[in-house]
């Protein structure tokens, strides 16, 4: 096996421009600098990235990729660190094993733990087949672990800030609904209307179950929520609200993607952690300096 050649650097930006995404682009396009640093390594020496955000790998897609690898080999090298942990390309590695390869091309990067995590998250975000909920979890990790605001995340991953904000709203849904998204039991279009009834967990769960059983379309879910809210009686007379207040709550909840209550001339907005609070503040057009 050839001696491992590797990048030595303080930060990812120093080699490939503005962000880690440039490294991913370099791997994808097989530019000359990447080709010069590509070596072959025994596949059984590679281990998974502990920061891998992708939890579910599609067996059918892995099989299809394995068939392609049998014909053409592994075209894009797998990125690893000094400990032979896969930073990017775990799907290719799994497919190469299935194809019967004993060696694969790799590029060795001298990465810190933080750089490994950023690299793995961004490389996965740029995949077209990443689930919406997986993307949301990845953004949350970038926000929490790297202390990035939504605007900074958007810049690094090449998305709009509104896209990042809308995707992250999915994390306000109950865990069973998030699990449903992760297992592809429902789509983002079906789940998005549920954000408007976060203040009614019982109703939300009932409608979620109907989505699964009846395979409701996104438009059917929206209509069901709209008419159920209008007709639903209040169980406790002391908390009865007029329709205009409820409508206002729902409008704000759709905008912010979190539970909102208006009661006794007070507006309450729920948030789960500091990252979620920053997300809400950005949606309201506020910054830390303005607080």
Q: What is the pLDDT of residue 178?
A: 94
Is the pLDDT score of 262 beyond 60? yes
Is the pLDDT score of 45 beyond 70? yes
Is residue 93 situated within a structural domain? yes
Q: What is the pLDDT of residue 204?
A: 93
**Domain end call among 78, 111, 130:** 130
How large is the average pLDDT for residues 41-61? Answer: 78
Task: Tell whether 95 and 20 lie within a shared domain.
Answer: yes
Q: CA nearest 134: which of 115, 121, 144?
A: 121
CA–CA dist 81, 87 (Å, integer): 7
CA–CA dist 144, 285 (Å, integer): 20
Q: What is the pLDDT of residue 289?
A: 54
Residues carrying an active site annotation: 90
Q: What is the pLDDT of residue 198?
A: 92
Q: Which CATH number goes with the domain that contains 209?
A: 1.10.10
Q: What is the pLDDT of residue 15?
A: 36
Q: In this prediction, what percent of the chain has a pLDDT beyond 70?
A: 77
Is residue 60 situated within a structural domain? yes
CA–CA dist 51, 38 (Å, integer): 23
- As a whole number, the mean pLDDT across the chain is 78
Q: What is the pLDDT of residue 13?
A: 43
Beta bridge partners of 86: 80
How large is the average pLDDT for residues 253-282? Answer: 82
Q: Domain of 240? A: 167-290
Confidence grade of residue 237 (pLDDT, cut at 50, 70, 90): very low
Confidence grade of residue 179 (pLDDT, cut at 50, 70, 90): very high
Beta bridge partners of 78: 106
What Cα–Cα distance (Å) separates residue 209 from each residue in 167, 190, 194, 254? 22, 12, 12, 21
Is the pLDDT score of 133 beyond 70? yes
Is residue 148 situated within a structural domain? no
Is the pLDDT score of 233 beyond 90? no
Task: Tell whether 177 and 240 lie within a shared domain.
Answer: yes
Q: Which CATH number goes with the domain that contains 13?
A: 3.90.1530.30
Q: CA nearest 148: which of 168, 126, 124?
A: 168
The pair of structure tokens assigned to 177 is 């609904």
CA–CA dist 267, 257 (Å, integer): 15
Which residues 6+ apart lie within 8 Å of 286 measured at CB?
Answer: none
Query: Could you give the dihedral angle defined by the CA atoms of residues 46, 50, 51 and 52, in that order, rounded to the nearest 10 degrees?
Result: 60
Task: Tell whether 185 and 252 lie within a shared domain.
Answer: yes
How large is the average pLDDT for residues 51-74? Answer: 79
How large is the average pLDDT for residues 140-162? Answer: 83
Q: CA nearest 178: which of 203, 198, 162?
A: 198
Is residue 158 situated within a structural domain? no
**Domain end call among 104, 130, 156:** 130
Q: What is the pLDDT of residue 3?
A: 47
Beta bridge partners of 106: 39, 78
Task: Tell whether 104 and 200 lie within a shared domain.
Answer: no
Q: What is the pLDDT of residue 242?
A: 72
Lowest mean pLDDT among 64-78, 167-181, 193-207, 225-239: 225-239
Whether the full predicted model's pTM is greater than 0.75, yes or no, is no
Which residues 6+ apart lie within 8 Å of 101 measured at CB?
Answer: 43, 69, 73, 74
CA–CA dist 252, 196 (Å, integer): 8
Is residue 161 situated within a structural domain? no
Is residue 184 situated within a structural domain? yes
Task: Tell whether 124 and 214 lie within a shared domain.
Answer: no
Q: CA nearest 202: which of 240, 226, 232, 244?
A: 232
The pair of structure tokens assigned to 140 is 């949350």
Task: Tell whether 31 and 122 lie within a shared domain.
Answer: yes
What is the helix (H) or strand (E) element at residue 262, kind and residue range? strand 260-263
CA–CA dist 257, 170 (Å, integer): 8
The 3-state DSSP class for residue 79 equals strand
Is the pLDDT score of 98 beyond 70? yes
Confidence grade of residue 274 (pLDDT, cut at 50, 70, 90): confident
Residues 62 and 95: beta-carbon distance below 8 Å: yes
Q: What is the pLDDT of residue 116?
A: 76
Lowest mean pLDDT among 108-122, 241-255, 259-273: 108-122
Top mean pLDDT of 22-31, 105-114, 167-176, 218-227 is at 167-176
- End-to-end CA separation in angstroms for the chain: 58
| Overall residue count recorded for the chain in this entry | 291
Residues 4 and 108: beta-carbon distance below 8 Å: yes
Confidence grade of residue 209 (pLDDT, cut at 50, 70, 90): very high
Task: Tell me phi and psi for residue 108, to 5 degrees.
Answer: -100, 125
Count structural domains, the chain: 2
């Amino acid at each position: 096996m050839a001696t491992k050649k590797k990048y030595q650097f303080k930060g990812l930006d120093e080699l490939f421009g503005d962000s880690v995404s440039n490294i991913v682009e370099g791997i994808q396009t097989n530019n000359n600098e990447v080709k010069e640093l590509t070596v072959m390594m025994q596949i059984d020496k590679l281990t998974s990235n502990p920061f891998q955000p992708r939890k579910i790998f599609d067996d059918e897609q892995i099989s299809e990729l394995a068939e392609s690898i049998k014909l053409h080999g592994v075209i894009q090298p797998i990125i690893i660190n000094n400990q032979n942990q896969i930073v990017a390309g775990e799907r290719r590695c799994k497919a190469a094993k299935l194809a019967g390869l004993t060696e694969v091309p790799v590029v060795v990067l001298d990465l810190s733990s933080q750089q490994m995590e950023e690299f793995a998250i961004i490389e996965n975000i740029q995949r077209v087949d990443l689930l919406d909920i997986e993307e949301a979890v990845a953004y949350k990790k970038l926000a929490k672990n790297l202390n990035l605001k939504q605007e900074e995340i958007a810049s690094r991953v090449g998305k709009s800030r509104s896209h990042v904000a809308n995707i992250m709203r999915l994390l306000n849904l109950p865990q069973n609904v998030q699990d449903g998204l992760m297992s592809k039991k429902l789509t983002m279009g079906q789940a998005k209307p549920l954000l408007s009834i976060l203040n009614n967990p019982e109703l939300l769960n009932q409608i979620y179950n109907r989505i699964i059983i009846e395979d409701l379309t996104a438009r059917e879910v929206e209509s069901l929520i709209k008419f159920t809210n209008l007709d639903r009686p209040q169980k406790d007379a002391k908390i009865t609200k007029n329709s205009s207040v409820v409508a206002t709550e729902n409008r704000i909840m759709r905008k912010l993607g979190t539970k909102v209550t208006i009661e006794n001339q007070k507006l309450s907005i729920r948030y789960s952690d500091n990252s979620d609070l920053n997300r809400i503040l950005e949606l309201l057009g506020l910054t830390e300096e303005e607080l």
